[in-house]
Amino acid sequence: MDIKNLKLFLSLSDSLHFGRASEACHISPSALSRSIKQLEDSLGVSLFERDNRTVSLTHEGKVFQEYAREALIQWDVVRNDLLAEAQELHGEISVFCSVTASYSFLYDILSDFRQQHPKIAIKLHTGDAEGAIARIMSGNEDITIAAKPDSLASTLAFKPIAASPLVFIAPLQDASLDPLLAERAIQWQNVPMILSEEGVARKRADQWFKDNRITPLIYAQVAGNEAIVSMVSLGFGVGVVPKIVLDNSPLADRVRILQNAPALKAYEVGLFALKKKLQSPIISAFWSQL
């Protein structure tokens, strides 16, 4: 079966940008445009609204997007069931995680998995962990490693790997910060904070400030825990990060954990996948590796 056009359509429907979609699919923008036109001609409807600046899905495009995702999932399930009956699993899995997670957890998982299933290719993408679950929900990735949110969508499966405390970190020495942090009861409203833009750590820090009726002095909001460690090490303020990120950071010796800071709920890290994708023998084999 030729499912290439479905994959091209989904890439464009997610990015809504011909240049980025064609680059991700390793084809030229003109070839992508021709493939989408062929698909639209076959269906008899327009899937995208286009002008010189923007691309957007039509109503029919949104309906077809759901179909295309389901169709590719079911195709993978059927194809891999047939391969499993032949006692040979091969294909590919798309995995997304942060750089920290890739060398903290992924090596042990993949080394065993590759020995047992050498014909399954792993497509690894790294980036900000706070967007990892959204990539699973959109169907862009099969598996991701991320922190478990306080509420989990019913369509998601989660398998825990490890737990890590959330810690407040400060520069080793800083003339402007040290007097504020030396107090038994830190005057948090005067401490410049460097926090994640979104995600589990940000929500728990925000909740603690709210519970204690503190309006934090937010110096910066950044994407990625590694960036928080970097900014703290340079003396820009105090940050909140999972301890596992600090333990694996090359800048760990340039910051310190504040012992007189509050204790936030631990950061639970694990695998995420759509429950319906676990029907695939390939994804199920990866999932059962833990």
Question: Residues 213-241: what's their mean pLDDT?
Answer: 92
pLDDT of residue 119: 83
**Which domains are assigned to the chain?**
1-88 (1.10.10.10), 163-267 (3.40.190.10)
pLDDT of residue 84: 63
Res. 87 pLDDT band, cuts 50 70 90: low
Q: Token pair of 21, please?
A: 């979609």
Pairing of strands 143-147, 156-171: unpaired
Residues 258-281: pLDDT tens digits? 988 888 988 899 999 999 888 888
pLDDT of residue 76: 78
In whole angstroms, give the CA distance from residue 118 to residue 276: 24
In whole angstroms, give the CA distance from residue 127 to residue 148: 17
pLDDT of residue 166: 93
Q: Is 80 exceeded by the pLDDT of residue 86?
A: no
Residues 150-195: pLDDT tens digits? 888 899 999 999 999 999 999 988 888 888 887 777 889 999 999 9
pTM (predicted TM-score): 0.67
In whole angstroms, give the CA distance from residue 85 to residue 88: 8
Residues 96-139: pLDDT tens digits? 988 888 878 888 888 888 888 888 888 888 887 777 888 888 77
Give residue for tokens 């997610």.
14
